[in-house]
Structure 1
């Protein structure tokens, strides 16, 4: 009668089990690395001027330039009318990774304010306010990448 558990057969079975276990672990680890999920986010850019001082009569503060950038796509707006500019809401996939907004304006009073804000999914992601008179600039950036 042959014995099943001879040392030669036992060595072959253990070698086969080690190979199967290592192949399974390699496939399992590669599966976790490949799962990169990008999400769509609702984004809105906003730039706002608050005139300081007590006299509401013209002249008023004005935007000189507003620059917005999503990924590598940049848009520049010169001499935007009014005291508030908004991009409107639009969808951005997080694979774009970077959002940038900058604005500069001529502010007339020492307590005038220029504020730039990036909203993501209806919440303020980044905001910056500068105060003073003369030409002032505010710039912000948001990255979807988690460092």
Structure 2
């Protein structure tokens, strides 16, 4: 009879522990996680050709031309061939900081020795990284920005 009583108590105790463990598990899983590990940022890429030519400028004016502009967000790459104009910008886009790295590279043919190729990465309305190359002929400029804190 005592054996039956002990097994009944053990069964009740086991049931109590199972219920208690289930309640703790449910309460812990419902706890709100206030620490957002990653944030969204507004990112824009920009490449610009500044033609600092002779004064007065020749008629018709000579401007530089882009060959390619390459952007990369995380592992996703986009290439634009022969964009028109002297300024190229990507649209504003939301990027999670989980993407960790942004890259921008541009190739252009510049007409004068003091012409400039400027590439910039804008994050949340401010220039995060920028690079300028000066000279004539084919020029390359590239910048990268990382969201990881080192």
Runs of 4+ in 1 over 4 A off after TM superposition: none
Which whole-Å deviations, capped at 9, do the CAs of 1:92-136 have from their partners, x for residues lacking one? 000000000000100000010000000000001000000000100
Hey, what does 1:99 align to over in structure 2?
102
TM-score normalised by length of structure 1: 0.74
Written as runs of structure 1 = structure 2, the 5 A alignment for 1:1-147 is 37-54=37-54, 55=57, 57-147=60-150
| SS of 2:118 mapped into structure 1 | strand
CA distance in structure 2 between the aligned counterparts of 1:123 and 1:75, rounded to whole angstroms: 22
CA distance in structure 2 between the aligned counterparts of 1:96 and 1:72, rounded to whole angstroms: 8
Hey, what does 1:31 align to over in structure 2?
none
| Equivalenced residues, count | 113
CA distance in structure 1 between the aligned counterparts of 2:132 and 2:138, rounded to whole angstroms: 14
CA distance in structure 2 between the aligned counterparts of 1:36 and 1:67, rounded to whole angstroms: 31
Q: Which runs of 5+ in 2 are unaligned?
A: 1-34
For the aligned residues, what is the CA RMSD?
Answer: 1.1
CA distance in structure 2 between the aligned counterparts of 1:60 and 1:129, rounded to whole angstroms: 17
Q: Which runs of 5+ in 1 are unaligned?
A: 1-34
TM-score normalised by length of structure 2: 0.73
Which whole-Å deviations, capped at 9, do the CAs of 1:61-101 have from their partners, x for residues lacking one? 10000000000100001111000000011100000000000
